[in-house]
Structure 1
């Protein structure tokens, strides 16, 4: 009996133990399932987030996005490399251009030196027909820095290959001067210098990072330089330029009513004492022609042949440091200093072209006329070029607004047309000037 009770009690204990273990098992399973579902469905069954399969695709998307980021970074890096290579290529092109220009100048100098040696060396017989050439290029003077040590130091820093552009300016032409040096900077020309004739221009140039030189005080020049008009100031340049030539530098003398579109030093021949732009407007007027004068009363001899050429412009010419060139400056300066009034451009041309004759010894200076389409005056531009579709495509080296008194607006229009691409910029202006 006691044994039966014990067995019954044992069975109850086992049953209770089994039920307890099932409960524990259920709890454990519940916890496990909860963890699994929590892992698989962190946002619940009814969430709009995608199931596990889509989550795997999301991971793939992350990989693609990461790949795209890497691709973007690589593209950016490649673009940076291309830009860097492009800059290096531009630098190399610039170096090649500079070396080519130096080589060209060297070849020019070699040819000129050979020519000088051939003519100035020992006397020799003339060669066969068609082979004899006279001396075109006079030798340069020996530089003399004692003439102006301060200017010599400035020129040493500014000039390139012993050449530079020089302009004289006072505050009366300040606005035009700004267009002038802005165009020079856009072209990339570095060898230029403004001779400031008053304090305002000197400060203006310094404020705009423009090389400037102001002469030491001199009563002869200062009164004209500070208050003089275009022609009066223009007359000063012949005295001032002398020092540049004595120091051994070639000068491209420039008025300030000029717009630069290319580097003029790439278009010079350097074979003459003076290379000048012309006031001519076609091949005849620019380079000379046979002008027949008709005098009917002379009968059989009614036709007299004359040689004509339109004058050189004394506002833009290249002058080498030679004895004939310095003599030209001296002659012009001396005549302009006389009491009677004279226009510097007229005197400049008379001294260059008038031959020796009784009572007068002419100047033996070599000269060359610049290409009038490259070194263009404003008559050529406004009367011819702007009306011709083909000529409008040409890009001059410089444009000189010498034929028109409304200089500043025309200079600005030239900049708009050739630099900024405004095709109708030249249209509002008349061919000539309105009195």
Structure 2
């Protein structure tokens, strides 16, 4: 009996032990399953937020409460399903917003393209790029007094401008006398001192006297041509900002025709050349020779004589204003000739470390807008060319400007055919 009871006891103990192991294994499997479900739907943040609170609120599933464990699992799955449905709803809303935004972007691009005229390339030889940059919007706030003056004297928003001080009164008189004779109404003298302002007023010449500006106007009292040259680029900027095209003129120029009748107006800058013939004025090939290179010893270069910074037409465009800013900025820092800086900024291409100026430019006809080298070395000695009537003659190549200007007037205005003969080709050293 005792042995039988012992065997029954051991059997019951073994059964209880097996049942306990089964319950533990089942619980572990259910826990792993729940963990996998949670990890699948909320891989990042579920365990550190709402899930922890939710799981802690679930009743404890002991070894003998398998039904409670199943109920807990059902609640967890239901909670996850609700969360998943909410996330899907938010995703759909975000997707719809993105779709609407993309539609708006496409519509904006279509509207923009509709405003911009798109052209197909034409047949070979018929395609031409744009030549003229758009002008800037006038900004009268930069100088209301000058804006009011230009409104009265400019013609078609164009004007001839020169700078002068009291050291050049005689040359200035020849300058404005011939402008008046030709009948040019739209010209202006920027008076750099009080004496020249009074001189212009007494001769009924339109003038503009600048207000003192941190001592800058004292440049006009210095008998230094280079100082005046550096100032003119800063002054010109105001004219362009006001929306006016300017024909910048030195005073050593004799006007024989109205220059506005001979401009193309298809570029940012239209300038007379220091060249003395078609090659030097409009460009030519110059071969550089290096015998040590053998077969490739000859290298072709393209050369052009510089533009004259004392007579050029400049339109109120962004590239034009950038040109004036670049030149003025360099002249404030460097001891340089303004004409050299003007040409460097206008012609230097972009290269590593430097962004070139994107400005359109045109060279004026050298026999209409004539420099004094062309006149005294070529034209006066050529029977055919001497019959031409230039628009202007710039005495830039000679130091005896006053006497030669008077001779030019005698020759072209008064018809004295011998007026130019006494002068040598150049100015004696």
**TM-score with structure 1 setting the length:** 0.71
- Corresponding residue of 1:347: 341
In 1, are the aligned partners of 2:220 and 2:228 still within 8 Å (CA)? yes
- Corresponding residue of 1:234: 229
Aligned residues: 316
Distance 1:217 1:223 in 2: 8
Distance 2:362 2:223 in 1: 30
- Where 2:423 maps in the other structure, the secondary structure is coil
Q: CA deviation at 1:219?
A: 3.6
In 1, are the aligned partners of 2:210 and 2:217 still within 8 Å (CA)? no
- Corresponding residue of 2:78: none
* Residue 251 of structure 2 corresponds to residue 247 of structure 1: no
Q: CA deviation at 1:243?
A: 0.5
Moved more, 184-193 or 290-299: 290-299
- Corresponding residue of 1:403: 397
In 1, are the aligned partners of 2:372 and 2:394 still within 8 Å (CA)? yes
In 1, are the aligned partners of 2:211 and 2:217 still within 8 Å (CA)? no
Distance 1:319 1:308 in 2: 23
Question: 290, 302, 306: which one pairs with 2:297?
Answer: 302
- Where 2:404 maps in the other structure, the secondary structure is helix
* Residue 307 of structure 2 corresponds to residue 328 of structure 1: no
- Corresponding residue of 1:379: 373
Superposed counterparts of 1:237-276, under 5 Å? 237-276=232-271
- Where 2:150 maps in the other structure, the secondary structure is helix
- Corresponding residue of 1:412: 406
Spell out structure 1 runs of 4+ moving beyond 3 A: 122-125
Question: 130, 134, 138: which one pairs with 1:139?
Answer: 134
* Residue 385 of structure 2 corresponds to residue 391 of structure 1: yes
Distance 2:225 2:381 in 1: 30
CA RMSD, 1 decimal: 1.2
Distance 1:122 1:370 in 2: 32
Q: CA deviation at 1:132?
A: 1.7
- Corresponding residue of 1:186: 181
Per-residue displacement from partner, 1:76-112 (whole Å, max 9, x unpaired)? xxxxxxxxxxxxxxxxxxxxxxxxxxxxxxxxxxxxx
- Corresponding residue of 2:415: 421
Q: CA deviation at 1:123?
A: 3.9
Q: CA deviation at 1:294?
A: 1.2
* Residue 124 of structure 2 corresponds to residue 129 of structure 1: yes
Distance 1:278 1:307 in 2: 16
Distance 1:219 1:228 in 2: 19
Question: 217, 234, 238: which one pairs with 1:222?
Answer: 217
Q: CA deviation at 1:321?
A: 0.4
Per-residue displacement from partner, 1:100-151 (whole Å, max 9, x unpaired)? xxxxxxxxxxxxxxxxxx9x93444322222221111000000000110000
Q: CA deviation at 1:163?
A: 0.3
- Where 1:337 maps in the other structure, the secondary structure is helix
Q: CA deviation at 1:295?
A: 1.3
In 1, are the aligned partners of 2:248 and 2:313 still within 8 Å (CA)? yes
- Where 2:310 maps in the other structure, the secondary structure is strand
- Corresponding residue of 2:171: 176
- Where 2:161 maps in the other structure, the secondary structure is strand
- Corresponding residue of 2:39: none
Distance 2:271 2:211 in 1: 29
Per-residue displacement from partner, 1:313-369 (whole Å, max 9, x unpaired)? 00000000000000000000000000x301100000001100000010000000000
Distance 1:368 1:421 in 2: 32
Distance 2:390 2:224 in 1: 28
Distance 1:206 1:151 in 2: 17
Superposed counterparts of 1:97-136, under 5 Å? 121-136=116-131
Distance 2:228 2:309 in 1: 12
- Where 2:230 maps in the other structure, the secondary structure is helix
Q: CA deviation at 1:391?
A: 1.1
When residues 172 and 219 of structure 1 are mapped into structure 2, their CA distance, relative to the original with a 3 A threshold, is farther
In 1, are the aligned partners of 2:166 and 2:193 still within 8 Å (CA)? yes
Distance 1:381 1:295 in 2: 36
- Corresponding residue of 1:363: 357
- Where 2:397 maps in the other structure, the secondary structure is coil
Distance 2:226 2:259 in 1: 24
Q: CA deviation at 1:427?
A: 0.9
In 2, are the aligned partners of 1:172 and 1:229 still within 8 Å (CA)? no
Structure 1 unaligned blocks of 5 or more: 1-117
- Where 1:325 maps in the other structure, the secondary structure is helix
**TM-score with structure 2 setting the length:** 0.72
